[in-house]
A and B are shown apart, each in its own frame.
Chain A
Amino acid sequence: MSSTVPILELRGVNKSFGPVQVLNSVDLSVYPGQVTALVGDNGAGKSTLVKGVAGIYPFDAGEYLFEGKPVHVTEPRAANALGIEVVYQDLALCDNLDVVHNLFLGREQSRGLVLDEITMERRATETLRGLSVRTLKSVRQQVSSLSGGQRQTVAIARAVLWNSKVVILDEPTAALGVAQTEQVLNLVRRLADNGLAVIIISHNINDVMQVSDNVACLYLGNMAAQVASSQLTHSQVVELITTGRSGELGLQPEVVSQASA
């Protein structure tokens, strides 16, 4: 299930914080039904790029196309309205509430004044089933009783509950053990198989190679390359992250020296 038309496309976006140029004419294409891994060393601009897409720090210049049309995403709500959801590393779940409450937090369904718990519980169960989530005993469990992987699952389910089209995951496996990492990566894959466009930020090259369809590598604020994962080896990704180029791939030597200057 892949498409040749990107659902989200950035062309030549720039972002500076004061005198510091964080993003320098970056291009990115994200396709529905595909997992796009965004990699890069610390300070390469991954977070800034994602925050620009999410409308938290709007880009200074460049084109932002959604479903082929130019859009202006200058605040998080605009991104949400387009169907873009971000799952941040710290997940932002309320421990004292149960899974259903967390999934609908801030967007509760009500009938008149009264919360419609039944509709919410059914939708929550449907969504989790649709993601083939089998790790939860009950949707009425308190989040405080969940494991790290289960929490990640709840956070991801919350992002897809609202018919979102693009889901951005910031380091979803960073704090997880082996088994739970596997669960979450399977879930990420299923999101894409369900037709969503997924952007995953990760430092773990094994995870990246396992789950992604293509890899976009940032190097000191420049997009070094966006290549299909099948055409990359593990060491090539490492080389792209650390030096900005790998053989024919990547930035021209003069760009590299300029960026690192």
Chain B
Amino acid sequence: MSTNVTDTDIPEAREETGIAQALRDYWGRVKGGNTGSMPAVLGLIALIALFSVLQGGVFFTALNFANLLNQGTAIIVLAMGLVFVLLLGEIDLSAGFAAGTCAAVLGVTLTNRGWIWPLALAAALLTGLIIGLVLGVLVAKLGIPSFVVTLAAFLGLQGVMLLIIGEGGTIAIQNDFLLAIMNNNMPVWAGWLLWVIVVLGYASVSLRAIHNRRKYQLVSPATSVWLAKVVTLAVLLGAAVYILNIQRQIVRPGRQTCVSVDPVNQPVGCIPVIQGVPWAVLVVLILLVILTFVLGRTSYGRHIYAVGGNTEAARRAGIAVSNIKISCFMVCSFMAAIAGVLLASRDNSVSPTTGGAQTLLFAVGAAVIGGTSLFGGRGRVIDAVIGGLVVAVIANGLPLVTDQSGIQYVVTGGVLLVAASVDAITRKRTSAGG
């Protein structure tokens, strides 16, 4: 009983793979259909170049860069939550109005009832968890398609929001801490400190992983690959921090710049200093690290991928499929609650349009453009960030190029369609590769 089949063995020699090999492997994956975030990154570069050429003076400025981040933050946070639901192959159409409803809870408790802000914030976040629990139970236990459940919630939450806000229409948010999240910037030194922490953190965590793998003679990337990644990250983030630390207020001749950010004791009529990394960036960064850890490094995260990839296989492997589904909807609505708080902070108020309009579609678009599959099983939290930046660049850049809102809608819809096509083609390619 001998076999004539020639096979390659599991590599015995644990040789390290260099940069060239790493690039070849990556290209192999791309050709195999697994494009990851590459289209989004290329698209981001192309869009920035395009808008810079078309509207050089206005688009590529420090002020606009900060604006762009400000516009994108809530969408990115919403998209991060949606990644969890999309990984299951489900959808949450109600996330936008879940954000609005949670913001309304925040506004009513904080402003109308006079609660202290931590309590009001907790109430808003708890509202998110409860919405997610209800959606999750309806989808996982009753077996109603998530499209229908969340479409109903899309309508229903819109109404709940109106009822909570009441006849007044708009509730102002006056708490300094909550307003600071989206309106204030870190001091210059804190921005650079954050840069150092992120780069060193990434470098040490990835280096330790490589060392551990070498210790047990497992295939590991070469130090040169690691170094290239760390340097790329350091340069990109360094550039971002540098630009954000530039004084954004346009200096007019004949007027003095204020001495510091401190509003007291300034020369009369001086130009205020606006510079630094927005605090919102820190919020996004913390959420990114936590959720990436949960998805990539815990068995809970692994089970989410398993349920999205093959529900029956997950069930047979003893994974509690309904609990995973319910928890993902809860994560999504919880993230929506955070997005709602960010929206309220940005607008200094809560109104019946908070979280409405294109908010949800932009967020779904962000996740899909970033490389998260609509078919489930494939996606990362960083996708939401990259895709969110693409959406923010389009939303920010297009109005500078054309004032016809018709064109803006058409272009945004087109980009989403292109991203969904890439997703569908990827899926076809990978399943044909078997």
Contact = CB atoms under 8 A, between A and B. Distances in A.
Contact of A182 (B5, B298, B319): B5
B218 A118 contact: yes
B306 A121 contact: no
A140 B219 CA distance: 10
Contacts of A115: 297-299, 302
Interface residues of B, number: 39
Contacts of B10: 125, 128-129, 133-134, 136-139
Interface string B418-434: 00000000000011011
A145 B302 CA distance: 19
Contacts of A129: 10
B218 A121 contact: yes
Interface residues of A, number: 46
Interface in B1-53: 1, 3-5, 7-11, 32, 34
Given A105-B306, A125-B10, 9 more contacts: A92-B317, A95-B430, A101-B302, A106-B303, A110-B298, A114-B297, A122-B216, A144-B433, A144-B434
Interface string A132-151: 01111111101011111001
Contact of A106 (B3, B318, B434): B318
7 contacts: A92-B317, A106-B319, A122-B216, A122-B218, A134-B10, A140-B219, A189-B1
A118 B216 contact: yes
Interface stretch (B179-187, B189-197, B307-315): B307-315
Rank and list the top 9 A-B pairs by shortest CB-CB distance, nearest first. Answer: A106-B317, A96-B309, A94-B309, A96-B377, A92-B313, A108-B299, A105-B317, A106-B318, A134-B7
A186 interface: yes
A11 to B, nearest CB: 29
B154 interface: no
Contacts of B309: 94-97
B325 to A, nearest CB: 16
Contacts of B4: 179, 182
A97 B305 contact: yes
A191 to B, nearest CB: 13
A129 B302 CA distance: 25
A234 to B, nearest CB: 17
Contact of B8 (A95, A108, A134, A145): A134
B212 interface: yes
A146 B434 CA distance: 5
B213 interface: yes
Contacts of A88: 316
Question: Which residue, of A139, A145, A151, A182, has the highest number of chain B Cβ atoms within 10 A?
Answer: A145
Given A92-B313, A97-B305, A186 B1 contact: yes
B378 interface: yes
A161 B308 CA distance: 24
Contacts of B1: 185-186, 189, 210
Contact of A94 (B3, B216, B306, B318): B306
A118 B433 contact: no
Nearest to A148: B434
A107 interface: yes
B302 A108 contact: yes
A153 B428 CA distance: 24
A183 interface: yes
Interface string A185-208: 110010000000000000000000
Interface of B: 1, 3-5, 7-11, 32, 34, 212-213, 216, 218-219, 297-299, 302-303, 305-306, 308-310, 312-314, 316-319, 377-378, 430-431, 433-434
Given A138-B219, A179-B5, A145 B299 contact: no
Contacts of B212: 118
A189 B3 CA distance: 12
A93 interface: yes
A96 B304 CA distance: 11
A21 B70 CA distance: 70
Given A115-B298, A118-B218, A145-B433, A135 B7 contact: yes
B386 to A, nearest CB: 20
A95 to B, nearest CB: 6
B305 A145 contact: no
Contacts of A128: 10
Nearest to B376: A96
A107 B299 CA distance: 9
B32 A145 contact: yes
Contact of B434 (A90, A122, A147): A147
A113 interface: yes
A64 B216 CA distance: 44
Nearest to B33: A144
Most buried by B among A128, A142, A146, A185: A142
A121 B217 CA distance: 11
Contacts of B434: 95, 144-148, 151
A185 B34 CA distance: 32
Nearest to B28: A145
Nearest to A106: B317
Nearest to B430: A144
Instruction: Pick the most buried of B302, B308, B313, B377: most chain A CB atoms within 10 A of its CB.
Output: B313
Nearest to B2: A186
Nearest to B315: A92
Contacts of B34: 142
B213 A118 contact: yes
Given A96-B377, A118-B218, A147-B434, A134 B9 contact: yes
Contacts of B316: 88, 92
A95 B429 CA distance: 13
Contacts of B297: 113-115
A166 B147 CA distance: 44
Contacts of A118: 212-213, 216, 218
B431 A95 contact: yes
A91 B312 CA distance: 10
Contacts of B11: 137-138
